[in-house]
Amino acid sequence: AFLQEVQVKEINAVLLTKGMSDNWESIWNFQAKPNDLLIASYPKSGTTWTQEIVDMIQNDGDVRKCQRAYTYVRQPHLEWKPWLLSTPGLEEAEKMPSPRTMKTHLPVQLLPPSFWKENTKIIYVARNAKDVAVSYYHLSRAMSVLPRPGTLDEFIDKFMNGRVLWGSWYDHVKGWWNKKDKHPILYLFYEDMKENPKQEIQKILKFLEKDLSEEIINKIIYHTSFDIMKQNPMAGYDTIHINIIDHSISSFMRKGITGDWKNHFTVSQSEKFDEHYKKKMAGTTLTFRSEI
């Protein structure tokens, strides 16, 4: 009953593309385990990068082991119902032996409750809103299975109003931020990972209660750097979605930098965005370093 009354509207708003909310009931009833690890984020925030770092950590920096399978097989995306892949992320996850690492883009209020009940560790990664919007716009242009973005101006407007797949960026980052002191959540930022990957990897190690040598940490930094990851056919989605990402338009591993929004937003788009941003982010202790 709860599912029907409270959630249906929201699910349809968040998972607004065709087919995505079909298996909502099984997503909501997903059984997390205490020794699972979940990597959560709003889309285009550095999820895949974090996933690769975590897999490298879990495999003690063994590059070959980390190339054992595609990203989506190593760490299934729970609510994703891929168009070309045979099994939904949820079913992949159910088949996996423990300890499992999984991915989600669900906003905090839609996370299956078993994660809270089992006290499962979660790593959340967030990224500057304008860079997320730019990255999301480009992938949407190149991937015709995603809702059509329109022009950049139209897409920015949809983004500001949360009318994109997985909903409002503002509610997402704030929702997870508000939960982080009540649950084992490590809240990371893309900008910090770019600036000081060693420091952020050390935070992950501490969170996972793992110790690795300096040499292995340096190896992880190298192999998860943008240029090396871009060449890795098992990381990201460029090689998997070869037929559904139009590479003449854009790629999944596109630029991997901070501040690319400055190459896209006009002054007036930026001012309008900032004004709205201030209202949406008023009263939160959550701040982003390259905000404006």
Residues marked as catalytic:
105
Helix (H, G, I), strand (E, B) or coil at 125: strand
Q: Which of residues 171-230 bind ligand PPS (CB under 6 A)?
A: 224-226, 229
| CB-nearer residue toward ligand PPS: 121 or 138 | 138
Which one of 30, 36, 44, 78 is in contact with ligand PPS (CB under 6 A)?
44
Stretch that binds ligand PPS, among 30-38, 149-157, 212-220, 252-260 (CB under 6 A): 252-260
Asked if 128 touches ligand PPS (CB under 6 A), the answer is no
| Cα torsion angle, 11, 17, 18, 19, sign | negative
**Could you give the CA distance from residue 55 to residue 70 in angstroms, rounded to a whole number?**
12
Nearest alpha-carbon partner for 216 in 20, 42, 86, 57:
57
Of 28, 30, 49, 137, the one binding ligand PPS (CB under 6 A) is 49
For ligand PPS, the closer of residues 48 and 168 by Cβ is 48
Considering only 21, 38, 45, 164, the residue that binds ligand PPS (CB under 6 A) is 45
* Interface mask toward ligand PPS for 67-106; x: CB under 6 A: ----------------------------------------
Asked if residues 259 and 290 have their Cβ atoms less than 8 Å apart, the reply is yes
Query: Is 254 near ligand PPS (CB under 6 A)?
Result: yes
Those residues whose C-beta lies under 8 Å from the C-beta of residue 262, and which sit 6 or more positions away, are none
10 Å Cβ neighbour count for 206?
Answer: 11
Please select the residue that binds ligand PPS; options are 47, 75, 101, 104, rule is CB under 6 A: 47
Q: Judged by CB under 6 A, how many residues of this single chain contact ligand PPS?
A: 20
Give the angle 132-135-136 at the CA atoms, nearest 5°: 80
| Cα–Cα distance, 269 to 271 (Å, whole number) | 6
Q: Residue 163 Cβ, how far from ligand PPS at the closest point, in Å?
A: 17
The span of 148-156, 177-185, 250-258, 263-271 binding ligand PPS (CB under 6 A) equals 250-258
264 interacts with ligand PPS by CB under 6 A = no
Among candidates 21, 42, 156, 151, which has minimal Cα distance to 90? 21
Query: Could you give the CA distance from residue 117 to residue 123 in angstroms, rounded to a whole number?
Result: 17
How large is the angle between the packed helices 267-280 and 152-160, nearest 10 degrees?
10
Which of 253, 265, 277, 288 binds ligand PPS (CB under 6 A)? It is 253
Nearest approach, Cβ of 279 to ligand PPS (angstroms)?
25
- Quick one: which of 160, 161, 137 has its CA closest to 150? 137
Q: Given the rule CB under 6 A, which residues bind ligand PPS?
A: 41, 43-49, 131, 135, 138, 224-226, 229, 253-256, 260
